[in-house]
A = this chain, B = another copy of it.
Amino acid sequence: MLDDRKLAVLRAIVEDYVSTNEPVGSKALAERHNLKVSPATVRNDMAALEEEGYITQPHTSAGRVPTDKGYRLFVDRLSQIKPLSGAERRAIETFLAGAVDLDDVVTRTVRLLAQLTRQVAVVQYPTLTRSTVRHVELVPLTERRVMLVLITNTGRVEQRVIELPEVVEDTRIAHLRAVLNSCLDGCGLGNVPDLVADLPERLPAEDRPAVATILSVLLETLVERHDEKIVFAGAANLAGAGFSVGLRDVLEALEEQVVLMRLLGETSTDTPSALTVRIGSENAYTGLRGTSIVATGYGSGDNQLARLGVLGPTRMDYPVTMGAVRAVARYVSQILAAS
């Protein structure tokens, strides 16, 4: 059905359309990519490709434009991820190396990715549940209030102010802190609920109300942050990239954490470290027709911490974009593993 030449034609159409943003006709195609066949032949192939739904024409007597299905085939079988240039690699490295804390890493990453791809970059903060506890701190503020600080191995810090049901002396707080740390240090956040379950019983009865309050806040912190923080950058690139229509919808989606989350995460089930590409209508979110998402997981080794990616018009340069996303994910993973 689709012989090699037809595939070559499809590839050529995608490449041309991506670079010119104009429907591409048979003549120009036959010239630019030396296909060694006549425009008429190309037309026949195009007709076949259109029949199969890989390309379409905006109106009669205009050139052809790839459909989502066409891009899909291109990404899956006709393109190779393009590695970054040496200069780009070095730029990434030095730019990310300067980060001072987790916030900074994420901020720098998202900017870097936006600049590199000239599209909108999206980065999810490392997921809490897969990280481990590095330290728990209880800081007395007044005699009825303490601040709970939870530090994870990824450098993330969560804090909450807790109102205690009764006055608790500082020494008791200190004791509780010691117990908590000995109990939780190094444990995965997912295990915390189990580990602290019997804690109240192991402590003096008079402390139990306070302990219960503190623990409930601690657990709350864990589940609450399960819906994670996401940041984006490079919105200005949308305005440039001949988007115009639907721009409002895209911006709205970007500011809606939940939507963004779903977009990044939807395909993370099987092999999180693989690049996932969702093209146009595959996104199943109205208003994001016309945009594609290239995403991947990042994190040290096999425990993927979170995801990052870029969002741009369906007519993006997939090989380059995929190369950039993959490279950035790797570098960030390195940075996080090292710290």
Assembled-state Cα–Cα distance A167/B304 (Å): 32
- Rounded to whole angstroms, the CA-CA distance of A118 and B101 in the bound complex is 34
Q: Mark A171-184, 1 if CB is under 8 A from B, else 0.
A: 00000000000000
Chain B residue with Cβ nearest A240: B248
Judge if A61 is at the interface, Cβ distance under 8 Å: no
Chain B residues with CB under 8 Å of A151's CB are: 139, 147, 149, 159
SS of A interface (majority): mixed
CB contact list, A144-179 vs B, under 8 A: 147, 149, 151, 155, 157-161
| A158 surroundings in chain B (CB, below 8 A) | 101
Q: How large is the interface on A (under 10, 10 to 19, 20 to 34, 35 or more residues)?
A: 20 to 34
Contact across chains for B159 and A159 when beta carbons are under 8 A apart = no
Residues from chain B with Cβ under 8 Å of A247 in the complex: 239
**Chain B: minimal CB distance from A209 (Å):** 21
Cβ-defined partner of A135 (8 Å) among B135, B139, B160, B248: B139
Q: Which of A11-19, A188-196, A229-237, A268-276 contacts B (4 or more CB under 8 A)?
A: A229-237
From residue 247 to 287 of chain A, which have CB atoms closer than 8 A to chain B?
247-248, 251-252, 254-255
Question: Does the CB pair A160–B252 fall under 8 Å?
Answer: no
CA distance A200 to B254 in the complex (A): 49
Say whether A155 contacts B159, CB under 8 Å: yes
On chain B, the residues within 8 Å of A251 by CB distance are 235-236, 238-239
Are B101 and A160 closer than 8 Å at their CB atoms?
yes
Nearest chain B CB to A126's CB is how many angstroms away? 15
A224 within 8 A of B: yes
Decide yes or no whether A130 CB sits under 8 A from chain B: no
Alpha-carbon separation in the docked complex, A158 to B149 (Å): 11
In the complex, what residues of B have CB within 8 A of residue A160's CB?
A: 100-101
On A, residues with C-beta under 8 Å from B are 100-101, 134-135, 137, 139, 141, 147, 149, 151, 155, 157-161, 224, 233-236, 238-240, 247-248, 251-252, 254-255, 339
9 A-B residue pairs with CB within 8 Å = A100-B224, A101-B158, A134-B147, A135-B139, A147-B151, A235-B251, A236-B252, A236-B254, A240-B248
Besides A149-B149, A155-B161, A238-B251, 9 other A-B contacts (C-beta < 8 A): A137-B139, A147-B151, A157-B157, A235-B251, A235-B254, A236-B252, A236-B255, A239-B248, A239-B251
